[in-house]
Amino acid sequence: MTGFGTALRLALRRNLVFYLCWIAGLAMLLPATVTKYHDLVPDGPSGAVMLAQLAANPTMRAILGPAIDLTTAGGFTFWRVGTFTAAGAAMMAALGVIRATRDEEENGRVELIRSGAVSRAVPLAAGLALAVAASLFCGAVIGASMAALAGVAGGWASGLGIGLTGAMFAAVAAVVAQVFESSRTARAWSVGVLLGGLYLARALVDGSRTEPDAWTWAMPLDWAALARPYAGERWWVLALPAAVTIVLSALAFRLEALRDHGAGLRQPSLGAADAAPYLRDARGLSWRLQRGGIVGWTIAIVVSALSMGSLSLSMGSLLEGQDALAEMLRRLGGGAGALQAAFFAAMLSIMATVVTLSGVLVLGRLRQEETAGRAEVMLATATSRWAYALSTLVPAVLLPAGLLVATGALLPIAQAQHDGSPDLIGTYTQAACALLPGVVLVLGLAMFLIGWLPRWFGLSWAVVGWTIVVSWLLPLFDVPDWLLKLQPWGHLPHLPADEMTWGAFSVTLAAGAVLLVLGAVGYRRRDIYGR
């Protein structure tokens, strides 16, 4: 392996920020949850009853994983965020491997490396080694923090389980990267099809049984939980992900030796020689470029709205007598009195931030197309700036708006069916509509940046990130009210608990609309940069 050290240093240099960001996010979840355990779960029998109900809820198990032992802070914490964190580590590692191998190869940089005095498999080895090391490092951070906070053995079992799940998917991605020529396809397969598919399979399996059985063991994403952190650790289980990592890594190197540089084991498929009739202007092109994302987002939001909605059925019994928890939910729900209303309001404000993310992603294309030099090609045709901007801006606003309204209609369906009160659907559709100005405001800000300060478009992500923190996390802590209101949705009414306040609604909507128009005007007036 001549040149391995150099290649590894190069990979580290190019991916350090990527991994640090991921690890910072992932490693925080377990320690943050375990410190909140005593606020969430009351001592004594009422706490035990609540935990039993939680563990008995199929939707909760489908989302979170098998409920092994929830009676300790560590065990509860691992159930609440452990399997999720493991899947996150898997995603980080898979993306990291594709980034460092197929991406670099597609862009012709691996060619430069391999023309040096470097063994053939070195780029793969460096990318894989770095991803495995990053996964294990992430596990070590989690292990050390949990060991300090909730017990040594369970802490390290949690950390190792998560780290090895990450390592396993680094190896999965290494194999996938040998199969496909394009990094885009390799990414879609390793993260979308394999990791996403396995997470879905795990959800189905865990949701449908109360005790782990053979099917549970067949789910690689459940292995970390099956090692029973904080529930009488079963260390040997951790040999499973380790063994899979080794076998798949060996397979990846074997496959790498079979293919040409730049090629995949599978030939890329050929497409149409002529464009479909709808591909005739910027609008058709935009639909073609965005349709995959639009369809994917729609499916994801519909499924999550329906499944979150079904949780509301068990909400009442779950929170009976749990004043602290109910209070927390009320804070998330913007202060609604009735628990059910608080629950729906909380889910709506969380979903409002998520669907806004879809809008910013769609709008980001306008900027990406410019920096890639493709906007220039379209703007050199009879496409006006205005038409070109609108081709992306319209779906960027309509998609999140439609998804938010759909969320409002879908969330209460299970409850409405159960209570025989279909008017709930109308009520929460209205509630969703009352939040629409916030979506417009964020997109207005993003468009304003594209129009006037294109280099600062990244700020839009920071804004979305901030709204997620404010809507999801801050209400759980004791923070001043003004801070909770310091976000696009801050002053909007939470129907039906609040009165409809047209003032805040109109002001937010108008601000968003003005920013959208200003942004479009700026885009029309400014220079378009090519490559």
Partner 1 sequence: MTSAIDIAGLTKRFGATVALDDLTMQVRTGQVHGFLGPNGAGKSTTIRVLLGLLRADSGTAVLLGGDPWRDAAALHRRLAYVPGDVNLWPNLTGGEAIDIIGRARGGLDKRRRDDLIARFDLDPRKKGRTYSKGNRQKVALIAALASDVELLLLDEPTSGLDPLMERTFTDYIRTERDAGCTVLLSSHILSEVEALCDVVSIIKSGRIVQTGTLDELRHLHRTVVVAELADPSVVSGLPGVSERTRSDGRTTWHVADEAMPAVLAALARAGARGVTATPPSLEELFLAQYAERASA
Measured from the CB atom, the residue of 132 and 285 that comes closer to partner 1 is: 285
Contact 32, 181 (CB under 8 A): no
Which part of the chain contacts partner 1 (CB under 8 A), choosing from 140-148, 177-185, 300-308, 326-334? 177-185
| Of the residues 337, 382, 481, 482, which one makes contact with partner 1 according to CB under 8 A | 382
Which part of the chain contacts partner 1 (CB under 8 A), choosing from 118-126, 147-155, 428-436, 522-530? 522-530
Contact 216, 222 (CB under 8 A): yes
User: Does residue 361 touch partner 1 according to CB under 8 A?
Assistant: no
Distant-in-sequence, close-in-space partners of 61: CB < 8 Å, separation ≥ 6? 55, 67, 206, 207, 210
User: Does residue 362 touch partner 1 according to CB under 8 A?
Assistant: no
State in angstroms the smallest separation of the CB of 225 from partner 1.
37
The conformation of residue 267, written as its DSSP 8-state character, comes to: P
Measured from the CB atom, the residue of 14 and 385 that comes closer to partner 1 is: 385
Distant-in-sequence, close-in-space partners of 453: CB < 8 Å, separation ≥ 6? none
Which part of the chain contacts partner 1 (CB under 8 A), choosing from 54-62, 114-122, 354-362, 380-388? 380-388
Measured from the CB atom, the residue of 214 and 269 that comes closer to partner 1 is: 269
State in angstroms the smallest separation of the CB of 165 from partner 1.
31
Which part of the chain contacts partner 1 (CB under 8 A), choosing from 1-9, 35-43, 296-304, 521-529? 521-529
Q: How many CB atoms lie within 10 A of CB 424?
A: 23
Number of residues that bind partner 1 (CB under 8 A): 40
Distance CA 226, CA 117 (A): 45
| Of the residues 379, 397, 424, 463, which one makes contact with partner 1 according to CB under 8 A | 379
User: Does residue 433 touch partner 1 according to CB under 8 A?
Assistant: no
User: Does residue 373 touch partner 1 according to CB under 8 A?
Assistant: yes
State in angstroms the smallest separation of the CB of 272 from partner 1.
6
Distance CA 359, CA 57 (A): 33
Positive or negative CA dihedral for 437, 396, 106, 458?
negative
Contact 464, 471 (CB under 8 A): no
Which part of the chain contacts partner 1 (CB under 8 A), choosing from 296-304, 330-338, 355-363, 373-381? 373-381
State in angstroms the smallest separation of the CB of 74 from partner 1.
46
Which part of the chain contacts partner 1 (CB under 8 A), choosing from 65-73, 270-278, 313-321, 514-522? 270-278
User: Does residue 376 touch partner 1 according to CB under 8 A?
Assistant: yes
Distance CA 226, CA 212 (A): 8
User: Does residue 87 touch partner 1 according to CB under 8 A?
Assistant: no
Distance CA 158, CA 139 (A): 8
What is the DSSP track for 251-311? Answer: HHHHHHHHS-TT--SSPPPP--SS--TTTTSHHHHHHHHHHHHHHHHHHHHHHHHHHHHHH
Supply φ then ψ for residue 373, to 5 degrees.
85, 10
Which part of the chain contacts partner 1 (CB under 8 A), choosing from 83-91, 239-247, 264-272, 351-359? 264-272
Pair of tokens at residue 416 = 């409405």
Half-sphere exposure of 393 (CA within 13 A, CB side): 26
Distance CA 442, CA 488 (A): 7
Supply φ then ψ for residue 67, to 5 degrees.
-90, 100
Measured from the CB atom, the residue of 235 and 529 that comes closer to partner 1 is: 529
| Of the residues 299, 372, 398, 453, which one makes contact with partner 1 according to CB under 8 A | 372
Measured from the CB atom, the residue of 214 and 276 that comes closer to partner 1 is: 276
Q: How many CB atoms lie within 10 A of CB 181?
A: 19
Q: How many CB atoms lie within 10 A of CB 436?
A: 21
Which part of the chain contacts partner 1 (CB under 8 A), choosing from 54-62, 263-271, 312-320, 435-443? 263-271
Distant-in-sequence, close-in-space partners of 46: CB < 8 Å, separation ≥ 6? 321, 322
The conformation of residue 209, written as its DSSP 8-state character, comes to: -
Among 371, 386, 378, which residue's Cα sits nearest to residue 284?
378
User: Does residue 275 touch partner 1 according to CB under 8 A?
Assistant: yes
Distance CA 88, CA 142 (A): 13
State in angstroms the smallest separation of the CB of 365 from partner 1.
11
State in angstroms the smallest separation of the CB of 102 from partner 1.
12
User: Does residue 380 touch partner 1 according to CB under 8 A?
Assistant: yes
Q: How many CB atoms lie within 10 A of CB 122?
A: 22
Q: x/- binding map, residues 281-320, to partner 1, per CB under 8 A?
A: xx-xx--xx-------------------------------
User: Does residue 498 touch partner 1 according to CB under 8 A?
Assistant: no
| Of the residues 17, 117, 258, 270, which one makes contact with partner 1 according to CB under 8 A | 270
State in angstroms the smallest separation of the CB of 271 from partner 1.
4
Write out the residues near partner 1 by the rule CB under 8 A.
Answer: 106, 181-182, 184, 268, 270-276, 279-282, 284-285, 288-289, 372-374, 376-385, 387, 525-528, 530-531
